[in-house]
Amino acid sequence: MTLSAQPNFKYHFTELLSAALAPMVPQGFDVDIEFARPKHANHGDYACNLAMQLAKPLRRNPREIASVLADALSVSPYLEKIEIAGAGFINIFLTTSVKQQFPRHVLENGERFGRSGIGVGKKIQVEFVSANPTGPLHVGHGRGAAFGASLANVLAATGYSVAREYYVNDAGRQMDILALSTWLRYLELNGIASHFPDNAYRGEYVRDMARLIHKAHGGRYVHKPDLLFEGISLDADAEIEAKLDGLIANAKKLLGQDYAYIHNFVLTEQLGDCRNDLVEFGVIFDTWFSEQSLFDSGAVARAVQLLEQGNHLYKQDGARWFRSSDFGDEKDRVVQRENGQFTYFASDIAYHLNKFERGFERVIDVWGADHHGYIPRVKGAMQALTLDPAKLEIALVQFAVLYRDGKKAPMSTRAGEFVTLRELRQEVGNDAARFFYVLRKSDQHLDFDLDLAKTQSSDNPVYYVQYAHARVCSVLEQWGGDVAALVTADMSSLESAVELALLQRLMDYPEIVEAAAKELSPHLVAFYVRELAGEFHSYYNATRFLVPELPRRLARLGLVAAIGQVLSNGLKLLGVSAPAKM
């Protein structure tokens, strides 16, 4: 299905102004032509400050430049008038009839209204969540999931070919800690009490996995537990992480080949739980990419070798270091330790090299905000590998802080004290969770108020928006006619200030979706649907729709149906349902 013709006014006006600028500016002179929505309707539908931008480089009076630009715009069939205001602002007023056509554009395109082709032919990857599979996803991970899924939807709506990917950290120390923690709980079930490290994973889910192993295999994996603490100081002053590493090493030695079973079992259990949780949350990945596969395939060793060939590595104290300070990082970074083991950073380099070798033109990583300092070293590695670092974009997401009854909920994965994403969803529902998570810019702090998310009032933003859609459905149900027939309705009676403002709001939607894609900001869609819902609620409370006059009735119903369609489209991008009844 192709989109029916719907004017993109900003593109149209940009073309007219670009043609007018050609004889005015030197060849190669670059200028950004931007349009803003004036805060007041009497200042027009669009405002442009281009004349003031050009005044200094062209050494001309800005109002004189504005006059030339206004003449160029005046040929547009969409304009009622143009005004030059102040020092040289160009205020653009659309004709009322152009605005009145928009319900038709919405209804003709239906679910595809607001989509565009700015990304057509471009292959882009969005990697998000990528939490260590060491326990259930908690509410902090949920924000990254909601943001990444919504961002991918927005990018797809603007024509990009989007690949959604989860990077599974299945090769590192955290998985060893989880395997050790589970084995120690398993030993307890076999009547063998042992010192359980404070910095191991202590959640009930660890005991659950231990019970599953014990139920299936009894005492098969009991291996000389008295030797587990051999060579390890239990002194309170001893370094706790060193104790843990010693226990992991002893467990691997005692279990031998059986260690692989424990490790793989806990990985499979936690990864399966994570996948199911995300699917239930409406977050689907195209690829689950294994970190271990990078080691098994030799990709990590190859990436380090390429850095060596480029003279970007040096040896110090037996380790191999990447000269990341040459690329803006605060210091150089180890890629291979003195014992020959590659670091997390080395596998990250190999992973990003792999992404671009798979043909992605742009790669977007969604990271927790605490990883901000990691950006220069990864981009530096890309540059050292002769890849364009600008093609790697990092979207930072602050973890959400959950509040219940005004009190902050704990969030420690190792201690097992956290509210899981599953628990949150069961308490407030998927819709509230998805909407609340994207209500703020991703790199801003988010307080998630559980009590508010469960209220059925205008104070609850997701309820407020969904209720607007339900009201639309109620009006159309009361009417009982064929909504498809409203496409041909005469909309010329939509002329009140409230109706013109709603028409203007509908016209904004495609631009909002494009802006959300360009700025990696799906919260713009959440803001938009909330504002549209607010304007519709006011219109609903003050207006009779099923009036006796047929043309006015059909026009208002057409506007109402269009509002419902746009609310539905926007909510769908955010992974939120648009109920017909509430």
Provide mean pLDDT across the span 55-60: 90
**C-alpha–C-alpha distance, residues 566 and 521, integer Å:** 18
**Tell me: the pLDDT tens digits for 463-472?**
999 999 999 9
Residue 60 DSSP code = S
With a pLDDT cut of 70, the percent of the chain lying above it is 97
Provide mean pLDDT across the span 208-234: 89
**C-alpha–C-alpha distance, residues 381 and 371, integer Å:** 16
Note the pLDDT of residue 1: 32
pLDDT higher at 42 or 432: 432
Note the pLDDT of residue 243: 87
**Tell me: the pLDDT tens digits for 395-410?**
999 988 888 888 887 6
Note the pLDDT of residue 26: 78
pLDDT tops 50 at residue 229: yes
414 phi, psi to nearest 5 deg: -65, -40
Burial of residue 335 (CB within 10 Å: 0-12, 13-18, 19+) is: buried
**Tell me: the pLDDT tens digits for 557-570?**
999 999 999 999 99
Note the pLDDT of residue 3: 40
Q: Judge contact between 350 and 299, C-beta under 8 A.
A: yes
Q: Which residues of 169-187 are buried (b: 16+ CB within 10 A; e: fewer)?
A: bbbeebbbbbbbbbbbbbb
Neighbours of 426 (CB within 10 A): 12
Domains of the chain: 9-94 (3.30.1360.70), 173-271 (no CATH), 457-573 (1.10.730.10)
Residue that the structure tokens 């076999």 belong to? 190
Note the pLDDT of residue 534: 98
Neighbours of 41 (CB within 10 A): 12
Cα of first residue to Cα of last residue in the chain, in angstroms, is 32
Note the pLDDT of residue 412: 56
Neighbours of 249 (CB within 10 A): 14
Q: Compute the 3-state secondary structure of the chain and give helix, strand, coil in percent, each to the nearest 5.
A: 55, 15, 35
Note the pLDDT of residue 4: 46
Element (H, E) at 334: strand 333-336
Residue that the structure tokens 């005469």 belong to? 490
Q: Judge contact between 268 and 145, C-beta under 8 A.
A: no
Is 362 strand, coil or helix?
strand
**Tell me: the pLDDT tens digits for 368-377?**
999 999 999 9
Q: Judge contact between 307 and 447, C-beta under 8 A.
A: no
**C-alpha–C-alpha distance, residues 190 and 10, integer Å:** 71
**Tell me: the pLDDT tens digits for 166-176?**
999 999 899 99
Residue 127 DSSP code = E
Helical spans, DSSP H, in 429-496 = 430-437, 450-453, 461-479
pLDDT tops 60 at residue 216: yes
pLDDT tops 80 at residue 235: no
**Tell me: the pLDDT tens digits for 184-203?**
999 999 999 878 888 899 88
Confidence of residue 239 (pLDDT cuts 50, 70, 90): confident
Nearest to 535 by CA among 465, 488, 487: 465
Note the pLDDT of residue 411: 59
Is 399 strand, coil or helix?
coil
Note the pLDDT of residue 417: 62
